[in-house]
Structure 1
Amino acid sequence: MYIENTGIESLILDLNTLDDILPQYGLIRAGTWDYERVTYDRKIVLHEHVYYLRVQGEAIEGDVGAQDATIQLKVPILGKHYYPHGIEYGEDENFPKALVSQCKKILDTLYTEIKPLAKKEEVEVEE
């Protein structure tokens, strides 16, 4: 499920800034990157289900592997993990309202912190 209208998708930030700040919100990059893309995940366990709040970005300058990149963030997504197949993000997934609300609060607080640090904002967002 896309969590739209957070403002995050309009921001361009330095990779090192993202690596410093996003873990404070439980969003961990770990090994989920390549030279052009990054993914920060927050694992949320509710009862018998596991969900992931995901913030992704794409390098518009530089190299992620060299820790020297400028990242255009994308629309955050919420997914549900199905063992052993992986995470499903489809609109047909059923997400608890409290979980969606919690994720929106996290993203709102994150946006407030990183917006002043953004290099610039994109007017049009490509998906």
Structure 2
Amino acid sequence: MRFENSGLESLKLDLNRLDEVMENNGMVRAGQWDYERVTYDYKFQIKEGIYYLRIPGYAVEGDVGAHDAYIQLMTPMLGKHYYPHGVEYGEDEYFPAHLVKQCNQIIANIHKEAEVFAE
């Protein structure tokens, strides 16, 4: 499931500020990056299964590995995890309404906090 028109797609931030904003909102980057891309995840373990809110971004300037980059955020996605295959984002997946509502709130909080630092 994609959260189109979340407003995050219009934001470009310094990587270090972005890491702070995401961490404040429970999003984890961990080892999910390379020199040009980043991915932030929020893991939900609920009775319906394991789900991930994922917010990707890419470097428009600089180097992620050197912690010196500006990141353009992309469309947030919600996916369901299937062991051992991975995360599925398809429109035919079931996403509980309470989970979608919580994801929308997290995205709104990130947008509000991040837009202060955006270029």
2:72, 2:110 → 1: CA distance? Answer: 15
1:91 CA drift (Å)? 1.1
2:33, 2:22 → 1: CA distance? Answer: 15
CA-based RMSD? 0.8
2:7, 2:20 → 1: CA distance? Answer: 19
SS of 2:106's equivalent in the other structure is helix
2:46, 2:69 → 1: CA distance? Answer: 35
| 1:105 paired residue number | 105
Length, aligned pairs only: 119
TM-score, scaled to structure 1: 0.91
Uncovered stretches (5+) of structure 2, i.e. residues with no partner: none
| 1:21 paired residue number | 21
| 1:96 paired residue number | 96
1:107, 1:25 → 2: CA distance? Answer: 9
1:34, 1:89 → 2: CA distance? Answer: 22
TM-score, scaled to structure 2: 0.97
Q: Which aligned runs of 4 or more in structure 1 are off by greater than 3 angstroms?
A: none
1:105, 1:4 → 2: CA distance? Answer: 14
SS of 2:66's equivalent in the other structure is coil
Uncovered stretches (5+) of structure 1, i.e. residues with no partner: 120-127
1:95, 1:113 → 2: CA distance? Answer: 26
1:5 CA drift (Å)? 1.6
2:72, 2:30 → 1: CA distance? Answer: 19
2:13, 2:48 → 1: CA distance? Answer: 36
| 1:5 paired residue number | 5
1:3, 1:114 → 2: CA distance? Answer: 17
